[in-house]
Chains A and B, each alone.
Chain A
């Protein structure tokens, strides 16, 4: 069996095992969940290390099991340079999320089962090379999200948030489904298959009918876009994350949300160059809605989770900008930011969840001076804030820099505004959060707040910060893998456009 099947299989298997563990064996429940996600994470690291960068455009760790031959559906997993980093990020974040789940005190068994199903689903969605399974795994991860927010969520608006996130994401998934089915039907009848590799190769050789592209591309763009909180379909995100239990927010904001972006890059761009040519400039303007508008909204938030939620929506704007620029720099940067933001969003929501445990409130006006009481938490939070406003040394900077260089040659005004959003607006809300939570005098009521002092408390945060720093210091670890695939995708997607403006001399 392929390593990938192990990576996504262990959490699913563990979910099955947990179903038979008695409800009151709480320690065992946790242990099984931790062991499964830990195994996944370790195997993902092994896979990432073993991945042959020289052959980054080829799929590696491939496994194919035919399932419904008549419809051309098969279980087909594999990674190339595009998704190898995403699978790694997903597995690490899942383990960190599992570590952060000690806050769940009731119905633990069900919670951990759902968490494991969600993990397996996410990893499956990123590893699948079959459109049917890709979608199936995504739904497998999506449905537990709704249930977890509905049952273990917090805050007064929990029910409304659950309702809203379900409505939005189901709608997005539905649009994407229609688009994907339409793609399938565009294949000639005798060759119809859900196999992604075959489909891409087919449409590369035999361009899809232009009018079909004009119809299908927006379905995928907006379907996937809603899943990623593309402006103006973003309002579910801050609200949903604000209400979600910590682990769910970490996994969804960090990993599952990236699925829509992955779908756009993997499916929509290379198969429908004409659609891309038509829609990318619109996307460039929509992404300003994410970067500027949601950044401004984040400035005004009084609740920390709403602030982080809006900032994560804003960060998605950079990825959209990278995609919209349709050049190697932009796409490579977009994938890099997807991975970096996965770690960062998980870190931010993990920290805010920890803070909530200590103070039972995330209203920033009530907090203050906590750096003295909680030095480890404070240091980690400052790092998250700095990574969030694009400080070099964290992986986000490398990705955002690539996106700016990529977008500059395509959309100059948009890039200028986006740079303002990244450098100034992002810094304003992040530093305001630090100022009101950590700095200033410590109010009497928080003298009892406990710092994350045990190894288990610190581990998830240390792991995520470590990953951000590792890829921040050595972005080549990722870009060397992403770039060759990005080149191929750009080549496919620009089939009808003139090649992008080339600037640059070696040194």
Chain B
């Protein structure tokens, strides 16, 4: 009786191990397919949208990357906004950094075209996105650099060593600044 049970258990374990093997193989194949899609999007080729919708957040990040390369900002923004809370901390930092770049590029374009009303809020949003990204991953040098670009574009003019340097003063002063980079030597 015990031997019969042992045999049945062995067969059941074999079946379970084989099922796990098939499952892992299917998962590996899926990951391989997704990585191919990501490589394709990164190299500037579009993929079918239904493959991205049903996939991992990394796929959406890759699609947003593709849209940004093609200067399709609105589509990139709507794709990125779907994955803001997905993934681990590092992934979220990455998504926020790319979001910051998306806003900043548009802000610079608007500032060049002297559309200050559009440039101001975009630069503000870019700074916010970079700050969030750096709070999640303070070791991202690209984020630090681009935040500095955004801060120079939209300078925060209040002096830090003033005693009334409180967050309450920020709003009133933020909108009185003029965006633009200093040209030439001071």
A and B associate? no
User: Which residues of A pack against B, CB within 8 Å?
Assistant: none
